[in-house]
């Protein structure tokens, strides 16, 4: 099968990926939001790339660190993506994948043993090939004080992640190849349908997996005074976030950076605040950060994220099917991959996903930035009346967040578009400074006056 015959179908990719964006992007931009967005865009456009902004600036020393980190991260990001593709091709071209398959098949006649053995060899090879870049990233984090995690703990976490990938990935591998054997022409569609409940289960289970890497404590137990303040945001937004769903994560055991997030859904959904955030934010700034995170909760961003993932998975599974057919026909004999039902075909399918991710990455990040901006708007409106100056609090929170991680005040626009899952910190700080939907002639987006 030639790829050019599939081009008309490939043209459906952008439309399919933009469908979930339409679901979350149908909200009208209010006049107050538009004015603040224009202000932030103009501020960033007026200042040279990588320079300080009026509303978010670093000290000369920290700005130099920010520029150095930005240059490294911009390069490292694309090096990692390209190296992932190149290393997969090399493993196939030099027969390493075929050798792994042969070793697994000779080990046992039992397919479960074969599948898990092949996957273990493949994961170990992938981990070793990516280890130099991972080591350098951790070294960089330690050198700049963004991480305080010792190397022993870091390697332990790498081992935990590898073990989880092997167990969960092995089960998915066995399911995938069973479907391929039973439905050789439609396996991509069948596996996609079966994967929907698996995706839901993964999101539901994420709060139970994270404690493998970090310690969690009920926020009510560690900081009841803070919970009382957060409850004011909950009551104002008429949200169903009881205190028992608020948790403190002991990030300071490994990191110095700040964060908070929403995890899980349904009975497992919870809001998590890192202890580093509590240490460095003012109480009012923590309330704003919680307002942002509760915005994800109220605005159903996890639901939309799952829908986006499902649509993206459908597109990538179909394109992966087409790629596997084409690649095995053209290179299968050379690579030692005789058919799509051979264990070695997994490497071909994952190579396809790596190639497609180069195209889907900016779309995924645009989707994420949309949700993060909406949560910023919600959070700033949620704290109105609970803090003295919502604009100053929002700007202050973004300044603390950015300065702690040496975030680039004004990143390269293309790099922000392609790789940022959140709007740039400088953009968020400028927006927060002037966003005032309670000014005369303005209206809030999520809360009525």
pLDDT tens digits for range 155-180: 999 999 999 999 999 999 999 999 99
Higher pLDDT, 110 or 237: 110
Looking from the CA of 233 toward its CB, the CA atoms found within 13 Å total 31
Distances in Å between the Cα of 95 and the Cα atoms of 91, 266, 306, 333, 335 are: 6, 46, 37, 10, 6
% residues pLDDT > 90 (the chain): 84
Average the pLDDT over 247-263 and give the result. 93
Looking from the CA of 89 toward its CB, the CA atoms found within 13 Å total 10
Lowest mean pLDDT among 58-67, 187-196, 232-241: 232-241
Give the N- to C-terminal CA distance of the chain in Å, as an integer: 60
- Structure-token match 């930005």, residue found: 70
Q: What is the pLDDT of residue 24?
A: 52
Q: What is the pLDDT of residue 308?
A: 93
Q: What is the pLDDT of residue 332?
A: 97
Q: Which two tokens stand for residue 39?
A: 């202000």
Band the pLDDT of 11: cuts 50, 70, 90.
very low
CA distance 83 to 131: 12
Q: What is the pLDDT of residue 261?
A: 86
**Residue 6: pLDDT above 60?**
no
Indicate the domain borders of the chain: 12-434
The per-residue b/e assignment along 355-382, b for 16 or more CB within 10 angstroms, e otherwise, is bbeeebeebbbbbbbbbbbbbbbbbbbb
**Residue 21: pLDDT above 80?**
no
Angle at 237 between CA 234 and CA 242, to 5 degrees: 30
Q: What is the pLDDT of residue 8?
A: 43
Angle at 103 between CA 100 and CA 104, to 5 degrees: 85
Q: Are 236 and 386 in contact, with CB atoms under 8 Å apart? A: yes
**Residue 430: pLDDT above 70?**
yes
- The strand pairing partners of 262, in sequence order, are 271
Lowest mean pLDDT among 86-100, 102-116, 132-146, 232-246: 232-246
Band the pLDDT of 239: cuts 50, 70, 90.
confident
In this structure, the strands spanning 246-249 and 270-274 are: parallel
CA distance 266 to 130: 36
What is the side-by-side order of every strand in the sheet holding 216-218? 216-218, 246-249, 270-274, 260-263
- Mean pLDDT, the chain, rounded, equals 92
**Residue 429: pLDDT above 80?**
yes
**Residue 27: pLDDT above 80?**
no
Q: What is the pLDDT of residue 427?
A: 98
Q: What is the pLDDT of residue 26?
A: 52
Tell me: the pLDDT tens digits for 306-319?
999 999 999 999 99
**Residue 401: pLDDT above 80?**
yes
pTM of the model: 0.91
| Dihedral, CA of residue 139, residue 415, residue 157 and residue 89, to nearest 10 | -100
Residue in 375, 366, 372, 379 with CA at minimum distance from that of residue 22: 366
Q: What is the pLDDT of residue 240?
A: 79
**Residue 79: pLDDT above 80?**
yes
Q: Are 324 and 29 in contact, with CB atoms under 8 Å apart? A: no
Q: What is the pLDDT of residue 1?
A: 42
**Residue 436: pLDDT above 50?**
yes
% residues pLDDT > 70 (the chain): 94
Q: What is the pLDDT of residue 264?
A: 86
Indicate left, alpha or beta for 44 from its phi (over 0: left) and psi (-120 to 50: alpha). Answer: alpha
């Amino acid at each position: 099968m030639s790829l050019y015959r599939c081009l008309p179908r490939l043209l459906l990719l952008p439309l399919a990926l933009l469908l979930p964006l339409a679901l979350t992007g149908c909200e009208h931009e209010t006049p107050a939001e538009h004015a603040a967005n224009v202000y932030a865009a103009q501020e960033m456009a007026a200042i040279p790339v990588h320079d300080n902004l009026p509303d978010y600036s670093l000290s000369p020393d920290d700005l130099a660190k920010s520029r150095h980190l930005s240059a490294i991260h911009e390069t490292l990001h694309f090096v990692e993506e390209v190296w992932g593709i190149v290393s997969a091709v090399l493993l196939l071209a030099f027969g390493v994948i075929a050798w792994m398959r042969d070793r697994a098949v000779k080990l046992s006649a039992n397919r479960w043993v074969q599948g898990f053995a092949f996957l273990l060899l493949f994961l170990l090879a992938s981990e070793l090939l990516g280890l130099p870049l991972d080591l350098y990233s951790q070294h960089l984090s330690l050198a700049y004080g963004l991480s305080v995690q010792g190397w022993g703990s870091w390697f332990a976490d790498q081992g935990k992640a590898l073990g989880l990938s092997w167990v969960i990935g092995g089960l998915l591998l066995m399911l995938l190849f069973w479907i391929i054997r039973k439905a050789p022409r439609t396996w991509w569609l069948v596996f996609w349908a079966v994967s929907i409940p698996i995706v839901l289960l993964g999101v539901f289970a994420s709060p139970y997996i994270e404690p493998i890497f970090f310690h969690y404590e009920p926020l009510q137990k560690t900081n009841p005074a803070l919970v009382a303040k957060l409850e004011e945001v909950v009551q104002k937004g008429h949200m169903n976030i009881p205190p028992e769903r608020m948790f403190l994560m002991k990030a300071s055991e490994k990191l110095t950076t700040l964060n908070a997030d929403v995890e899980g859904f349904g009975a497992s959904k919870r809001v998590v605040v890192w202890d580093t955030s509590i240490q460095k934010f003012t109480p009012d700034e923590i309330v704003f950060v919680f307002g942002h995170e509760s915005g994800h909760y109220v605005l159903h961003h996890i639901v939309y994220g799952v829908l986006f993932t499902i649509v993206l998975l459908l597109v990538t599974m179909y394109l992966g099917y087409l790629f596997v057919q084409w690649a095995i026909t053209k290179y299968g004999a050379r690579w030692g991959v005789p058919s799509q039902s051979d264990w070695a075909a997994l490497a071909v399918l994952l190579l396809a996903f790596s190639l497609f991710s180069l195209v889907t990455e900016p779309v995924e990040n645009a989707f994420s930035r949309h949700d993060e901006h909406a949560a910023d708007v919600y959070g700033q409106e949620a704290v109105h009346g609970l803090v003295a100056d919502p604009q100053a609090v929002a700007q202050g929170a973004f300044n603390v967040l950015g300065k702690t991680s040496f975030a680039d005040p004004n990143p390269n626009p293309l790099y922000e578009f392609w790789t940022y899952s959140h709007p740039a910190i400088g953009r968020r700080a400028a927006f927060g400074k002037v966003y005032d939907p309670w000014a005369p002639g303005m209206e809030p987006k999520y809360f009525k006056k």
